Amino acid sequence: MHKYLVLILYTIKEGSTIFCPHIDVSATLGKAIRLLALEAVYHLVVVDKNLTVHGVLSPRDIAAKLLEIHENEGFLEERVLRKWLSIPVGRIARKPAIALTRFVSIAEAAKLMYLNRIGLLPVVDNTGKLINCYEETMLAIHLIGDIRPAKRYATADPLTLSIDDKPTLLDALAIMVEERIRHVLLERSRSTDIIDINNLLLAIVRRPLEGTLLEKLEKYTRPATILPADIELGTIAELVTLLPERAVVLTSRTDGEEKMIITTRDLLKAMSEKVGKST
């Protein structure tokens, strides 16, 4: 078995997956950032030319490396940023990867992902070669039509920055890495914006200058999709598969002050509770 792979064997009924976002182990972080943003996913399976799994890469891994360089260098001029973007993904991918050697039911895959706090679960053969995978966004499709209340699975008090504090792109990245989150909200005078980690990293790829990191966060945010807290889970599941930031803000009907956020990560818990039911 490949030295970077830890296999967990589950013999459960056959399931199906839709696609598996993956990237070559020699590809650069710059390419990975573009692929993450293009596919609107938060994990890539890192493979070699034989499709042997070497690990899994997330935008948080990429951002953490940038912050490490920033701490060591003290500044991030264009030369340093371009060097960071040219790092091979294999150098920072998380090893070992957790993988399956059998297909499982959709609900069981969600349960395994939720319990292990992962958003992507590769399926490999007995040599460690990638066959397919379960990815959290595509699993959300199976919740469409679910009538359970969405707020049961939402995260209360999402991290919210104020536009009055003039947070920068670098501020937001540092918060996301430290808090292990993918989204932050930005409170404007009469509205709420949202930004995800993929789009922050993409901004750096497009303009790899220290000035980009110090730009105001508001330049990169977009209006959040806000819905009443009593909405059904199935409606949320359908929306997050369409929204590039894969997140919806829920708010109370009364004053709108109490906010929650629900993401594809939260939907894994909802899906995991469907084990034993029809999927």
For residue 190, pLDDT beyond 70: yes
> pTM score, two decimals?
0.88
Q: Which pLDDT does position 19 carry in this prediction?
A: 67
For residue 8, pLDDT beyond 80: no
Least confident among 91-95, 188-192, 252-256, 258-262: 252-256
For residue 115, pLDDT beyond 70: yes
Q: Which pLDDT does position 227 carry in this prediction?
A: 95
Mean local confidence (pLDDT), 244-265: 86
Q: Which of 91, 24, 94 is nearest to 58 (CA)?
A: 94
Mean local confidence (pLDDT), 70-86: 89
Provide the pLDDT confidence category of residue 3 given band limits of 50, 70 and 90.
very low
For residue 277, pLDDT beyond 70: no
Mean local confidence (pLDDT), 126-131: 91
Give start and end residues of each alpha helix (H) in the chain: 29-39, 59-73, 78-85, 106-116, 136-139, 169-179, 197-206, 210-213, 233-240, 264-272
CATH for 5-59+88-135 (3.30.9.10, 3.40.120.10, 3.10.580.10, 3.30.365.10): 3.10.580.10
Give the integer Cα–Cα distance in Å for 23 and 43: 10
As a CATH number, domain 150-272 is: 3.10.580.10
Q: What are the domain boundaries of the chain?
A: 5-59+88-135, 150-272
- 92, 65 in Cβ contact below 8 A? yes
Mean local confidence (pLDDT), 88-106: 89
For residue 17, pLDDT beyond 70: no
The answer to whether domain 5-59+88-135 and domain 150-272 are alike in fold is: yes
